[in-house]
Structure 1
C-alpha cells in the first residue's frame, strides 16, 4: 500500500480549523486576568499604584481594554495594606496573548513605567505577583460595569472564590450558576461585575465572581435577602447541587481612586 502523501496537509488543515474555532469560541466570552500584587509596606503600595495609574492602565486602554478594576482590601480585612487586586477584562484569548509584545513596543508605557520596570533588586515594588486566568460564564459572557455610586472609599466590591472537592462537583456548581443562580443576583440587585471559571490558578477547581455595593450595610442587607429568596430556597436543596462547594474564600475590597470600575 502506497503512503498517503496528502495526510499531513489534511492534518494541518484540521489543526488550523480547530484553532480558528477555539479563537472564535473564546471571543463569545470574556477572558479575565486577575492579578494580585502582594506588598509588604506603604512604599511598595505607592510604587505599584504609580505604575498602574500612570503606565499600565493607560497602556491597556490604548490596546482596546476599556475598563480595568483596581481594588484593595477594606480596613477590616486581615490582608488590608498587603494586597492590590487588578481585574483586566479581555474580549478574547487572542487579545490577552497579544498584549505583552505590544507593551514591549509601547514607548509611552515604557517611559511612564520606568521606575517600576527598572526597580532595584533591593527595593522591589512588590513581594510577589499572583495571577489567575478566568473565562466568563456562558450565563454572563461579558463583564458588567457596576451601577454603584458614592465615595469609592465606602464602596464594597466582594470577590468570592468557590472551591470544589472534585472536578465533577465543580462542573455542577458552574451549571447551578448558569441555570438560575446568576439570575437571582440580578433580581436582587447585587450589581454583579463578573462570573467566571478559573482556567489557571492556585485554587483549582474553583469559580470566581464579583458583586458590588455602595457600603457594607447594603452588602449585608443584600445577602440577607439572598438567603431567604424563594428561587434560592428551591435551588439549594436540589440533589444535583449538593456538596458542590468545599470552601468559600471571600474578599471584601474597595476600588482605588484611579480604578475604572
Structure 2
C-alpha cells in the first residue's frame, strides 16, 4: 500500500514539474548598429518596436546593452512555438506602423549593420520569467557555457542540484536558464548582481565554497564538463521588462 502511495506521489510530482516548465520558444537577438547609431535604435525600440512586437503576439522578455561594448543591443523574446514565431515576424515586417517607424528612423542613415539570432528552450530548473523592476539599480550577466561532447546532461544536473542554490547563497539572482535549439553542448543563462564588482566578488566566493568544490569534483569524475565559458556584463534599457 505504501509503495503504491509513494509511486503515485512521485508521478504527481513529475506532472507538477512538467507543467511548471516554461514550454515557450525563446529567441535571443543581438543587434550590431552602425557606429554611433545605438541611441537611434534604442529610441525606435522604446517608442515603436516593443509595442508592435506585442501587437503581433511576441512577448518582450528583456532588453540589455553590454557594459563594455559599443553599438550593441541584446534582447530576448518569447513565442508559443516556432510556427507562431515565424508568423509573428512575417506580420511584423509587413505592418505599416513598423514600416513607417523604420523609414522615419533611418532618414539619417541605416541603423542596424548585423543581426544574430539564437533559438532556445527553458530548462526544467529555470525560474519563472516575469517582469521585474528592482528598486535598486543592478547589472545583469549573460553567461554561455559550451560543454565537452556528451557532457551537457551532466552540466544541467549540476546546475539543477547544486549550482543555482549556491549562486543564491552568494547573493546572485537567477533570472533564466536555456538550452539552445539544435545544439547539444550549450547552456545560456542570465544572472543579476548589485554591480559588476559585486558579481565578480560573488563568483570568487562561489568558487571557493567547499559545497561547490565538492559538487564540481563529484560531477567531473569522468572528465571536465565545460570547455568554454563566456561572460557579458550588461545593463537593462529603460524600456526593458526586466530591470
Q: TM-score, normalised by structure 1?
A: 0.73
Q: Deviations over 1:25-75 (max 9, x none)?
A: 9x8434221111112411x2133213322222112333455543221111x
Say if 2:22 is the partner of 1:31: no
Does structure 1 residue 244 correspond to structure 2 residue 220?
A: no
Shift of the 64–126 alpha-carbon distance from structure 1 to 2, 3 Å rule, reads closer
* Structure 1 partner of 2:241: 260
Aligned to 1:58: 51
* Cα shift at 1:222: 2.0
Q: How does 1:1-261 map to 2 (within 5 A)?
A: 28-42=22-36, 44-74=37-67, 77=68, 80-104=69-93, 106-115=95-104, 119=106, 123-140=109-126, 142-146=128-132, 148-151=134-137, 155-166=138-149, 168-199=150-181, 205-240=185-220, 242-261=223-242
Q: Please report how far the alpha carbon of residue 239 of structure 1 lies from its aligned counterpart in structure 2 after TM superposition.
A: 4.3
RMSD, aligned CA? 3.0
Note closer, same or farther for the CA distance 1:216–1:28 as it changes in structure 2 (3 Å cut): closer
Gapped regions of structure 1 (runs ≥ 5): 1-23
Q: Distance in 1 between matches of 2:49 and 2:97?
A: 10
**Conserved? CA contact 1:70–1:259, under 8 Å:** yes
- Aligned partners of 1:97, 1:175: CA distance in 2, in Å? 32
Question: Which is worse superposed, 221-230 or 88-97?
Answer: 88-97
Q: Which whole-Å deviations, capped at 9, do the CAs of 1:76-101 have from their partners, x for residues lacking one?
A: x2xx2132111223354454333213
- Rate the CA distance shift 1:140–1:59 in 2: closer, same or farther, 3 A: same
Gaps of 5+ in 2: 1-17
CA deviations over 1:12-36 (Å, ceiling 9, x no partner): xxxxxxxxxxxx99x8434221111
In the alignment, the residues of structure 2 paired with residue 30 and residue 130 of structure 1 have an alpha-carbon distance, to the nearest angstrom, of 20
CA contact (8 A) 1:29 1:141 kept: no
User: Residues of 1 paired with 2:224 and 2:169: CA distance?
Assistant: 25
User: Partners in 1 of 2:132 and 2:197 — Cα distance?
Assistant: 17
Q: Distance in 2 between matches of 1:111 and 1:89?
A: 25
